[in-house]
Amino acid sequence: MNDVTQSENPHSRCGFVAIVGRPNVGKSTLLNHVLGQKLSITSRKPQTTRHQILGIKTEGDVQAIYVDTPGMHEDEPRALNRYMNRTASSALKHVDVVVFVVDRHHWTPADEMVLKKLEHLKCPVILAVNKVDKLERRDTLLPVLEELARKRDFAEIIPMSALKEQNLAPLEEAVARFLPESVHFYPDDQITDRSERFVASEMVREKITRQLGAELPYSVAVEIEEFKHDGKTLHISALILVEREGQKKIVIGDKGERLRSIGQEARADMERMFESKVMLRLWVKVRRGWADSDRALKSLGMNDS
């Protein structure tokens, strides 16, 4: 974590809020909509989030430092999966509030596993019941909430829709109530502790995942090799790593068409985020077995927090 700059307001509130849940339940979408801009990458593919990412929101006297985490899952067959589980679990250490995100459709064994990891926490746990916008009849929600309430003594249970931004204000208000009185840890205009290079690499990975989610497994990583301002233009060079030659051909596409499409979409997001013209160059390289190797993960910056 970076060095922090503290606010001078002695009556302010500040603390860490872990967003946890099973894969693909809407944690990153929730963080992005709370912050009002894209920070965590999203896709329909489970386990898109790999890293622990801080999203910082300051409103008046309240600074909530949200920790978006990879989805916790039961199987750990590869080093990458083990890394993501460790990262998600480590987010529960030293936090002031936990937001446990579940899907209102059904409770799964993976939800039960996450709940078990929360058993010994002393901090408040808020249950955020996501995707209620998809309910055909509102009267079916109450029995679902009553059943969920029996699973743990939750500090609050809040039905909401991260994607449609429904009922997010009550969730943020609940979080604020449980934060301790404290000076602010970060400047009021800072939104993350991650570097611009990291954000750029995640933007490229999101476009790959979104465009090729059905064709490619999780064996894709992105390294930023150049990140340089030249006047009003930002030059970014990114290396896309895959495990097999066949995957490289998929990412490049016919006559380079897929790679160009990935680059165009990523560049548009980067220009909005960095408020600068971006020149983006992408390459694809085969690095066999990186997702099975703890050493390779560390070389890609996937170190346990």
Are the C-beta atoms of 250 and 215 separated by less than 8 Å? Answer: yes
The two three-digit tokens of residue 132, written as one number = 């209620």
17 annotated ligand binder: no
The two three-digit tokens of residue 207, written as one number = 């476009």
130 annotated ligand binder: yes
99 annotated ligand binder: no
55 annotated ligand binder: no
90 annotated ligand binder: no
Residues whose CB falls within 8 Å of the CB of residue 175, separated by 6 or more in sequence, listed in order: 17, 64, 97, 99, 126
26 annotated ligand binder: yes
27 annotated ligand binder: yes
Across 132-276, the runs of DSSP E, i.e. the strands, are 156-159, 220-230, 233-242
28 annotated ligand binder: yes
72 annotated ligand binder: yes
d(CA 236, CA 174): 40
269 annotated ligand binder: no
Residues whose CB falls within 8 Å of the CB of residue 253, separated by 6 or more in sequence, listed in order: 259, 260, 261
d(CA 61, CA 64): 10
60 annotated ligand binder: no
Question: Which residues does the annotation place in the binding site?
Answer: 21-28, 68-72, 130-133
Question: Which residues does the annotation place in the binding site for GTP?
Answer: 21-28, 68-72, 130-133
